[in-house]
Structure 1
Amino acid sequence: MLPVRRPPRILPLVVLLLGALLGGCGPRPAGGADTAERDVRRAVADWPRAVPEPLAGIPLTDWAYEVSSVRRDGNGDGNGDGERALATARLRYRLDGYDSAPEESARELELVREGGAWRVSADRPAPGALPQLWDQGPVSVATGTHSLVLGGAGQSAGTLREIAAEADRAVPAASAAWPGPWAGRVVVLVPGSLDAMARLLGRPADTYRGLGAVTTGRVGAGPAPADRVVVNPEGYAGLGAEGRRIILTHEVTHVATRAATSATTPLWLSEGFADWAAYRGASTTPAQAAPALARAVRRGELPGELPRTEDFAFGGDPDAAARAYEGAWLACRLIAAKWGEQALVDLYGRAGREPLETALRETLGVDRAGLTKAWQESLREELR
């Protein structure tokens, strides 16, 4: 295992803008309010025609805005020129060939009236909404066989090509571990810096410091945008070739298993399976890949139970979080070795649909206590 692990998947929410959007709302021409608002909405609807230029190279499709409210300041000359408006809208778009359903973003658009016509002068995230990568500056693109890599401001073309090549190796590795249906392709975002990554995900930078990458997305079956693997450029740059391979295979496995993952899937199974896929076939020994847990076992501190959800939390003891991830991996490794790889895959699928105890009985023929005992015995044997 790498000494620093990644946090639980983050499930991003589209935040809808509520509240006042423009303070002063002056008088409007009698009888013209409805017509003016229709013109503003039409200008926003036409705005996507101008969007592709700053986003050249990104395979965007179905780009559209749904306006929820319009506020005008009512100021301007006698013909209305110079009047300004603020529109709130929901942007929907897809990355062609990667997203099965539209991605969404809450936006705020400024408009100004010139020559009798409204035009969009600014387009930004709505207050409280997460930014898109292009809100942080120019975006560069690298395309692999199974991957689309979007780089934020400052990322070099060479770096993006290298990440695309690694993602292309990670996709078939994830598919080999997870035979269930999935798209077999991945979108990777590479922000310009750790701080840019934190702003993109709406969390403090310290949450991701030292991590190589995380995955965002919504779990569960049904239409949903493709997950995004978000690379921490600082953490990723500090990894060797093997570490980069493990990190990206782990995160791509989360993408592969998304549709089979639900709120009932134990985090130890989700994270452990992703690590099992990443280490599958590698020559790394348990003691080498699980150093934090190995030290604990040698001190006589054998875990009393499988890792709990709260054990994976970051912000506390990093060694404790590392032990949780390592223990989860070794639990999945044990299941694959003792009951078979297909049993591990079946357990993952069932655990997303039914209680864990039921899934364990149906796939492994043991209960949670039985699995825990077998896991503890394997830890004593492999980490001594």
Structure 2
Amino acid sequence: MAGRRRGTGRRRLAGCALAVAVLMSSCGAPPAQDGAGRDIRRTLDRRASAVLHHDASGYLAVVDPRAKALRTEQREEFENLAGLPLRSWTYRLGQVHRQGAEATAEIELRYRIDGYDSAPVRAARTLRLAEHGGRWYLTADSPGKGAGQQLWQQGRVAVVRGRHSLVLGVGRQSRILRAVAAVADASVPAVDSSWHGTWAGRVVVLVPSSLNSMAALLDSPAASYRDIAAVTTGEAGGAGAAPADRVIVNPAAYAVLSELGKQVVITHETTHVATRSQTSQATPLWLSEGFADWVAYRDTGTGAPDAAPELQRAVRGGALPAALPADADFGFGGDAGTLARAYEGGWLACRLIAREWGGQRLADFYRAVGAHQRRDGAVEAAMNSVLGTTPEDFTARWREYLRAQLG
């Protein structure tokens, strides 16, 4: 997925598909069988206890005294964490590869922010350790495969609490973080009025210092997010409790948006947070992105020509889409026009459902699609059971709606 411009002057990416790179699941492999795994787990338990008890000396006690650079880095990270209101902080030990007095361990950090996370954030880490005197000490700590940095690894974390939001920033002025919190606070009731489902009713927003810092959190090239104002991390899949989501702001792209644009962006991303547990592999991107845009635009008074300029150009130029946007149309690195038309087409599809069947039926349709175990047949079954129509009939209605709204 890539960025696009709209009538609000906004740039953003919806984060439905970004989960896997940021929230890694545990590898689940057994530890080494010679006792190293047990002893390494004790080291990790001591480290976790030190974090929760704000014990700097205990945190550093598990770092190899000879690893001077790592000790300096770990001291800074611990200080950067000081303001984070943590409810829990644990490590899950996965594979351990031992060679004599040295070992490499794949672990999963799990933590919750008090009052905001109903499930833990998960982050894969790779640790290198050395044994001295029967105890294991850290000699290196880096992101695991496919995982990015954590915010506190980028600097001291500033914390701003809103009514419905928690904004965590690095290298940003307090007034900027407060302004983001105000926008996030307004997004939660907007989502509640459209999505009558069970969700936390709170959102955590990360504001890094730069585009490059944002990309480091996502473990992706900065160029992928240059025109993106915000993304949402989280795992789609619908299995069990939804994991904790984070809305991550690109400070450069977000700053140039209008006030309306900022509100639309954050409301869109908050919608992804709210709908995460009902979003699965069966949910097409035109529905997940279109529904988030429908919620974000719902009470703004924005008309179709203003919010869908690329699609309007296509319709007026005789290139009326033949089918609803495919998932591939939302991909990173593709044509910017194709991407814009995909978002706009998904939004207008959901807007059509809300107009013809009502907003509640649109939300019911979303849930029904997500409840399927696989993509094949999910939309067809939900259209039949919830909307009383077929994909062919709906597509024809959608094409006529595009003509009427954009022609």
TM-score range, shorter chain: 0.7 to 0.9
The farther-off stretch of 127-136 and 199-208 is 127-136
Offset of 1:49 from its aligned partner?
A: 3.5
Secondary structure at 1:257 match in 2:
helix
Does 1:263 pair with 2:281?
A: yes
For 1:101-250, list aligned pairs within 5 A. Answer: 101-109=119-127, 120=138, 123-126=141-144, 129-152=147-170, 154-219=171-236, 220-250=238-268
Aligned residue in 2 for 1:360: 383
Does 1:14 pair with 2:40?
A: no
Aligned residue in 1 for 2:107: 89
Aligned residue in 2 for 1:346: 364
Supply the AA of the counterpart residue of 2:379: L
Secondary structure at 1:141 match in 2:
strand
Offset of 1:246 from its aligned partner?
A: 0.2
Aligned residues: 361
Supply the AA of the counterpart residue of 2:390: D
Offset of 1:100 from its aligned partner?
A: 2.1
CA, structure 1 residues 296+222, in 2 after alignment: closer, same or farther (shift >3 Å)?
A: same
Supply the AA of the counterpart residue of 2:19: L
For 1:23-62, list aligned pairs within 5 A. Answer: 40-51=40-51, 52=54, 53-54=78-79, 55-62=81-88
Aligned residue in 2 for 1:30: none
Larger radius of gyration: 1
CA, structure 1 residues 128+170, in 2 after alignment: closer, same or farther (shift >3 Å)?
A: closer
Offset of 1:60 from its aligned partner?
A: 1.5
Task: Say if 1:289 and 1:326, in contact at 8 Å, map to a contact too.
Answer: yes
Offset of 1:70 from its aligned partner?
A: 6.6
CA, structure 1 residues 5+325, in 2 after alignment: closer, same or farther (shift >3 Å)?
A: farther
CA, structure 1 residues 230+119, in 2 after alignment: closer, same or farther (shift >3 Å)?
A: same
Alignment equivalent of 2:315, drawn from 297, 318, 329:
297
Task: Say if 1:109 and 1:123, in contact at 8 Å, map to a contact too.
Answer: yes
Supply the AA of the counterpart residue of 1:202: D
Deviations 1:80-126 (A, max 9, x none): xxxx7665432222122222222222224455778997655654324
Aligned residue in 2 for 1:329: 347
Deviations 1:149-177 (A, max 9, x none): 1113x122221111111101001101111
Task: Say if 2:165 and 2:181, in contact at 8 Å, map to a contact too.
Answer: yes
Secondary structure at 1:331 match in 2:
helix
Secondary structure at 2:43 match in 1:
helix
Alpha-carbon distance in structure 2 between the residues aligned to 1:359 and 1:218: 22
Alpha-carbon distance in structure 1 between the residues aligned to 2:267 and 2:169: 19
CA, structure 1 residues 39+236, in 2 after alignment: closer, same or farther (shift >3 Å)?
A: same
Aligned residue in 1 for 2:74: none
Considering fraction of residues, name the structure with more helix.
2
List runs of 5+ in structure 2 lacking aligned partners. Answer: 1-5, 55-77, 373-377
CA, structure 1 residues 340+48, in 2 after alignment: closer, same or farther (shift >3 Å)?
A: same
Task: Say if 1:7 and 1:313, in contact at 8 Å, map to a contact too.
Answer: no
Task: Say if 2:194 and 2:360, in contact at 8 Å, map to a contact too.
Answer: no
Alpha-carbon distance in structure 1 between the residues aligned to 2:313 and 2:249: 29
Alpha-carbon distance in structure 1 between the residues aligned to 2:37 and 2:193: 54
List runs of 5+ in structure 1 lacking aligned partners. Answer: 19-32, 75-83
**Aligned-pair RMSD on alpha carbons?**
2.7
Percent identity (aligned): 52
Alpha-carbon distance in structure 2 between the residues aligned to 1:281 and 1:194: 30
Alpha-carbon distance in structure 2 between the residues aligned to 1:260 and 1:127: 27
Secondary structure at 1:366 match in 2:
coil
Alpha-carbon distance in structure 2 between the residues aligned to 1:229 and 1:86: 32
Alpha-carbon distance in structure 2 between the residues aligned to 1:243 and 1:17: 40
Offset of 1:15 from its aligned partner?
A: 7.0
Supply the AA of the counterpart residue of 2:362: L
The farther-off stretch of 196-205 and 249-258 is 196-205
Alpha-carbon distance in structure 1 between the residues aligned to 2:39 and 2:384: 63
Alpha-carbon distance in structure 1 between the residues aligned to 2:39 and 2:304: 65
Alpha-carbon distance in structure 2 between the residues aligned to 1:269 and 1:104: 27
Aligned residue in 2 for 1:274: 292
Deviations 1:197-248 (A, max 9, x none): 1121122112111111111111214223221111111111111100000000
CA, structure 1 residues 335+119, in 2 after alignment: closer, same or farther (shift >3 Å)?
A: same
